[in-house]
Amino acid sequence: MQHDKILILDFGSQYTQLIGRRVRELNIYSEIVPFNKIPESINEYKAVILSGSPNSVRGDNALHPDLSNIRGQKPVLAVCYGAQYLAHFSGGEVAPSNTREYGRANLSFIKDHESLFANISEGSQVWMSHSDTIKQLPTNGVLLASTHDVENAAFRVEGEQTFAIQFHPEVYHSTDGKQLLENFLVTIANVTPDWTPNAFVEETVEALQAKIGNDKVVLGLSGGVDSTVAGVLLHKAIGENLHCIFVNNGLLRKNEFENVLKQYEGMGLNVKGVDASARFLDALKGLSDPEQKRKAIGRVFIEVFDDEANKIENAKWLAQGTIYPDVIESVSATGGPSATIKSHHNVGGLPDFMKLKVVEPLRMLFKDEVRRVGASMGIDKELLGRHPFPGPGLAIRILGDLTPEKVRILQEVDAIFIDGLREWNLYDKVWQAGAILLPVNSVGVMGDERTYEKCVALRAVESTDGMTADWVNLPYEFLQKTSNDIINKVKGVNRVVYDISSKPPATIEWE
């Protein structure tokens, strides 16, 4: 089945993939390419979106796309840097802002209620993230909307289906961002929204069958949403040729190895449990740098899978539950100028000694899309609602070096926190939660004695995609009970704190 396609030009913004996610949330297929690698077959796309960028249009490093085959021929929506680019190089003026325009703002004026801003009212919250501002509109520019601090928050170009906005409609904090994108894509660009989870499953199964044929595939299951959905998707495509392996790296949650193996009983998947905890913990001895820890885990992960794969005759593929946020934060998914935030153990290919080829059926999906795809295949709702858990496990929640004792402490703390969320009916209201063991001791008093023990931080966030997140305002009564339980029941901990940082500027994990 042919779907209408949207082209997104990546200028390096960390939010670029969110544009793609929002577009796909509207059941519209999107492709992201670097700004300087525009496909020659531009007629395949119904519309084009220009992303934001960390660069300035006023600088020597300004990014210059060739829009000669796009402007005036395709509907265009320019976001942030894209809007500034259209202004600065088309007769307008862009200048430094007096203050950095970052965070929430509200639309104070809307001229166009029929087209781009249909069903959006004055007062609507938008998210700003720029240090330059548009002082003068480009030639033939027509003002569409303003905020209290940004006069030229949105404009269109007369004689073209070209629209530009200074804010980010793709992020969680722009309350009517999805509506604006729908107005542009469906109303203005006349795109048919028919790219659904069912369509993704059908087309991906066909693609996997064509790619893999009768080869055998080894899949690393983690018990989480991503690897589970990848497993069911692959099982649909190749059946018994899929061999699933769940590795205990010694950094899982309390009792997770046994619980996960039990979870997969009855799902029809061929699953083998491998306890390699000693191997992982040995490789992590003495390491405190988070990147070194991630790389050590990634190396051992590959070694364990190579050992297990060699036991499976004719295994030729290693399947992974890699999703978009993993790729984005490791390296630009498109080869574009996006900045690297952190490396991920399941991104970047395999070493030369490993004979397996990689297959990643979920590589182009965000977490919420993975859940929708899983639901369309009938996967249990409770399993799909499980919180994300980092691939390196508790290794990146233990700041500093690792010891078996530190792992034990954090497993106990984490179990009290997560079990408490479930008991208080808070688990499903939280997108991700966990505990962090800090590399500090603090003075405390227990009974009549002085203590000098560990401090742990609790973290709970709400999000839809993991790219942006807000901390959850958990009830004080819950936090009080959880803190008391941890201090009273976990030997070695005498202080509990709660993390109230949002993403951005912080990340969800501490390392």
The three-point CA angle 47-210-312 to 5° equals 130
From CA 45, how far away is CA 43, in angstroms rounded? 5
User: Are the C-beta atoms of 176 and 111 separated by less than 8 Å?
Assistant: no
Count of helices and strands (H, E) across the chain:
13, 18
Torsion, Cα 14 18 19 23, to 10 degrees, reads 170
Which residue do the tokens 């970052």 mark?
102
Output Rg (C-alpha) for the chain, integer angstroms: 25
CB contact set of 38 (below 8 Å; sequence gap of 6+):
7, 9, 65, 66, 69, 70
From CA 141, how far away is CA 156, in angstroms rounded? 6
What's the per-residue H, E or C state across 116-143? CCCCCCCCCEEEEEEEEEEEECCCCEEE
Spatial CA neighbour of 234 closest among 272, 207, 261: 207
Spatial CA neighbour of 337 closest among 4, 13, 5: 13
Which DSSP state fits 218? E
From CA 366, how far away is CA 184, in angstroms rounded? 22
The token pair that represents 348 in the structure block: 């970047």
Of these residues, 25, 101, 170, 308, which one is catalytic? 170
From CA 90, how far away is CA 178, in angstroms rounded? 28
Is 455 a residue of the active site? no
From CA 30, how far away is CA 7, in angstroms rounded? 6
H or E segment and range at residue 94 = strand 93-110
User: Are the C-beta atoms of 354 and 178 separated by less than 8 Å?
Assistant: no
Of these residues, 25, 80, 308, 329, which one is catalytic? 80
Of these residues, 168, 235, 344, 345, which one is catalytic? 168
Spatial CA neighbour of 78 closest among 178, 165, 138, 3: 165
Is 80 a residue of the active site? yes
From CA 360, how far away is CA 346, in angstroms rounded? 10
User: Are the C-beta atoms of 227 and 247 separated by less than 8 Å?
Assistant: no
Which DSSP state fits 237? H
From CA 103, how far away is CA 174, in angstroms rounded? 10
For 36, 88, 108, 474, 484, the CA distances from 417, given in Å and listed in that order, are 47, 51, 43, 12, 11
Which positions are catalytic? 80, 168, 170
